[in-house]
């Protein structure tokens, strides 16, 4: 175990679990070097099904150079419907080739536009919209450019295999028929850097302010906080609004491309007198609903990352429970070859159950969890419970704080602390292929291999 990159430590990822030097290099030299395909789990009816019973048109889109939110906005503008009528299962990155599902309420196949950088395939109709998380997972095919120590990939793989609690006989050469060269590995199920902003990691800071009821602080965390990774004009605009709070003058400085910030500034500039908490909250509510939810989710994710780092520091296992842990069980409906935790099925592990639950974990049937804290969260007991309470106390948070208005409210859930997969490493060019359950990040696997600045992962 070795210290993580300083930028990763700001979002709660304190360690790498592999000690070998990273292979170096960078990702996304070209969009084609980062391919993501959703492992789908959403049923549809034929495209000519009754639109009263099945009002949502469902299609698969392969996107090149499109951020999911931007594509949804482009699509809704072209069709002439509200952006809120467009839904998807998972947000994907702009600098990649991504294949994912979308649904549009009240649209017909003929309404779908031709969009540069998008190949659209109509799948059918559905009685409800696709919801965030309506997928089993994602399959990745990734190319590493200019690796410095590609020969280290093998030793890193072995270390990750051991961290995942996998027996030597289950290692290299024991893959499935479809993937015979893949090796099983495990890594801490951290939330990756992009959850918080790869170049400007402030999303969790906005969320923490919201959960603490500091609407003013949440807005300023989003509008201000300039970083060196941004253009000079953007840094100047953020510094100006942070120093002056002159909302109207700030509109003249914020570039048009920062449309979310400009929308918030319009709300503040239109207020009578000095804005109060309700005006600051209204400014945040100008943002898309999924982004509003993301702020609170990022705060939960930051606390979760902190809990995993503390568990690592204490030397507690990730692949099996200790007394007081809360485990979840495997989703029996997961696609073949994908291990998918079902966090709706939880069990608290007392001293009597440690051995029996350990056997379930060894067979891939159970997983140790940590909380994404919300109003209905019940914390663990034992040493893990002590970790969870210590982190929340340090952040000045408690479950009741998540009883928030509108899209900011969260009941919370639990999440597996270990993610297991099978990775295939190829050379010339160096490439890694693997699949992950929904909600897990490819960069969390890749950071162990490259050990570079997160910007080179994102």
Residues with Cβ within 8 Å of 93's Cβ and at least 6 positions away in sequence, in order, are: 34, 36, 67, 194, 458
First and final C-alpha spacing in the chain: 23
Contacts of 249 (CB under 8 A, 6+ apart): 240
**Mean pLDDT in residue range 367-377:** 96
Q: Is a pLDDT exceeding 90 seen at residue 273? A: no
Dihedrals phi, psi of 125, to nearest 5 degrees:
-125, 160
Given CATH 3.30.420.280, say whether it is the number of domain 291-416: no
pLDDT higher than threshold 80 for residue 295: yes
Q: Which CATH number fits domain 42-133: 3.40.50.80, 3.30.70.3160, 3.60.15.10, 3.30.450.20?
A: 3.30.70.3160
Residue ranges, comma separated, of all CATH 3.30.70.3160 domains in the chain are 42-133
The pLDDT, as a whole number, for residue 169 is: 43
Q: Which of 21, 31, 50, 93 is catalytic?
A: 93
Instruction: Considering the chain, tell me which residue range(s) the CATH 1.10.1510.30 domain(s) occupy.
Output: 195-287
Contact 372, 306 (CB under 8 A): no
Q: Which residue has the higher pLDDT, 181 or 343?
A: 343
Cα 301 to Cα 115, 189, 307: the distances in Å are 34, 11, 10
356: its two tokens: 């029996």
Q: Which residue has the tokens 């663990």?
A: 380
Pick from 33, 81, 77: nearest CA to 56: 81
Helices (H), 40-140: 68-79
128-132, Cβ contacts within 8 angstroms, sequence gap of 24 or more: 128/56, 129/56, 129/87, 129/103, 129/105, 130/42, 130/56, 130/58, 130/87, 130/88, 130/89, 130/101, 130/102, 130/103, 131/87, 131/89, 132/87, 132/88, 132/89, 132/90, 132/290
Residue in 121, 119, 118, 86 with CA at minimum distance from that of residue 104 = 86
Distances (CA, A) of 45 to 127, 311, 396: 9, 46, 48
Q: What was the pLDDT predicted at 277?
A: 93
Read off the pLDDT of residues 235-272 as tens digits, 9 standing for 90 and up.
999 999 999 999 999 999 999 999 999 999 999 999 88
Whether 350 is catalytic is: no
Instruction: Give the model's confidence band at 168: pLDDT under 50 very low, under 70 low, under 90 confident, else very high.
Output: very low
Is 92:438 a contact under the CB 8 Å cutoff? no
Tell me the two tokens of residue 175: 């893959």
> What tens digit of pLDDT does each residue of 47-97 get?
999 999 999 999 999 999 898 888 999 999 999 999 889 999 888 878 899
Q: For residue 59, give the nearest of 97, 96, 101, 12 by alpha carbon.
A: 101
Transcribe 193-205 into DSSP letters: GGGT-SSS--HHH
What is the average per-residue pLDDT within 379-386?
Answer: 96
Please tell me the predicted confidence (pLDDT) of residue 172: 47
What average pLDDT does the chain have? 91
pLDDT band at 166 (very low <50, low <70, confident <90, very high): confident
CATH number of 195-287: 1.10.1510.30
Statement: residue 385 has pLDDT above 90 = yes
pLDDT, one tens digit per residue, over 191-225 is 999 889 878 889 999 999 999 999 999 999 999 99
Residue 323 CA to residue 326 CA, distance in Å, equals 9
- The H or E element containing residue 103 is strand 97-105
In percent, how much of the chain has pLDDT > 90? 76
Nearest to 100 by CA among 92, 108, 112, 110: 92
Q: Which helix (H) or strand (E) holds 269?
A: helix 259-269
Of 438 and 58, the one with more pLDDT:
58
Give the span between the Cα atoms of 129 and 290, in whole angstroms: 14
Per-residue pLDDT at 170 exceeds 60: no
Question: What value does the mean pLDDT take over residues 95-109?
Answer: 93
Query: SS3 of 124, please?
Result: strand
Q: Parallel, antiparallel, or unpaired: how do β-strands 34-40 and 97-105 relate? A: parallel
Beta-carbon count within 10 A of 33 CB: 19
pTM, 2 dp? 0.87
C-alpha distance from residue 53 to each of 49, 125, 328, 397 (Å): 8, 9, 35, 44
Please give the average per-residue pLDDT across 143-161, as a whole number: 94
Percent of the chain with pLDDT over 70: 97
Q: E strands of 349-412, at which residues?
A: 366-372
Question: Which of these, 392, 387, 447, lies nearest to 16 by C-alpha position?
Answer: 447
Q: Categorize the per-residue pLDDT at 315 as very low, low, confident or very high, splitting at 50, 70 and 90.
A: very high
């Amino acid at each position: 175990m070795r210290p993580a990159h300083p930028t990763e430590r700001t979002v709660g990822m304190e360690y790498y679990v592999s000690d070998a030097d990273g292979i170096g290099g960078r990702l996304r030299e070209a969009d084609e070097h980062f391919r993501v395909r959703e492992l789908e789990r959403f049923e549809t009816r034929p495209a000519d099904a009754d639109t009263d019973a099945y009002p949502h048109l469902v299609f698969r889109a392969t996107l090149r150079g499109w951020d999911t939110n931007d594509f949804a906005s482009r699509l809704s503008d072209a069709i002439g419907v509200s952006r809120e009528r467009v839904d998807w299962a998972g947000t994907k990155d702009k600098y990649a080739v991504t294949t994912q599902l979308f649904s549009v309420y009240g649209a017909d196949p003929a309404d779908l536009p031709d969009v540069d950088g998008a190949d659209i395939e109509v799948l059918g109709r559905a009685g409800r919209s696709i919801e965030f998380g309506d997928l089993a997972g994602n399959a990745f095919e990734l190319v590493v450019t200019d690796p410095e120590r590609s020969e280290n990939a093998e030793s890193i793989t072995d270390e990750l295999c051991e961290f995942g609690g996998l027996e030597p006989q289950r290692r290299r050469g024991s893959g499935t028929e479809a993937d015979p060269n893949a090796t099983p590995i495990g890594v801490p199920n951290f939330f990756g850097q992009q959850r918080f902003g790869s170049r400007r990691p402030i999303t969790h800071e906005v969320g923490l302010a919201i959960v603490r009821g500091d609407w003013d602080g949440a807005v300023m965390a989003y509008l201000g906080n300039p970083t060196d990774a941004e253009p000079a004009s953007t840094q100047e605009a953020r510094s100006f609004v942070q120093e002056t709070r002159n909302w109207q003058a700030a509109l003249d400085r914020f570039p048009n491309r920062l449309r979310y910030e400009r929308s918030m500034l319009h709300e503040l500039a239109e207020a009578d007198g000095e804005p109060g908490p309700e005006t600051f909250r209204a400014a945040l509510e100008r943002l898309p609903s999924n982004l509003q939810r993301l702020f609170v989710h990022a705060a939960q994710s930051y606390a979760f990352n902190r809990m995993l780092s503390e568990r690592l520091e204490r030397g507690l296992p990730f692949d099996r429970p200790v007394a007081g842990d809360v485990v979840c069980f495997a989703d029996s409906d997961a696609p073949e070859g994908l291990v998918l935790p079902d966090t709706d099925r939880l069990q608290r592990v007392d001293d009597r159950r440690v051995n029996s639950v350990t056997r379930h974990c060894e067979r891939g049937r159970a997983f140790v969890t940590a909380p994404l804290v919300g109003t209905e969260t019940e914390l663990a007991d034992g040493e893990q419970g002590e970790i969870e309470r210590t982190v929340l106390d340090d952040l000045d948070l408690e479950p009741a704080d998540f009883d928030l208005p509108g899209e900011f409210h969260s009941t919370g859930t639990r999440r597996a602390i270990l993610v297991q997969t099978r990775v295939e490493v190829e050379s010339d060019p160096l490439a890694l292929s693997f699949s992950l359950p929904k909600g897990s990040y490819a960069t969390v696997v890749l950071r162990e291999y490259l050990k570079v600045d997160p910007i080179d992962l994102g």
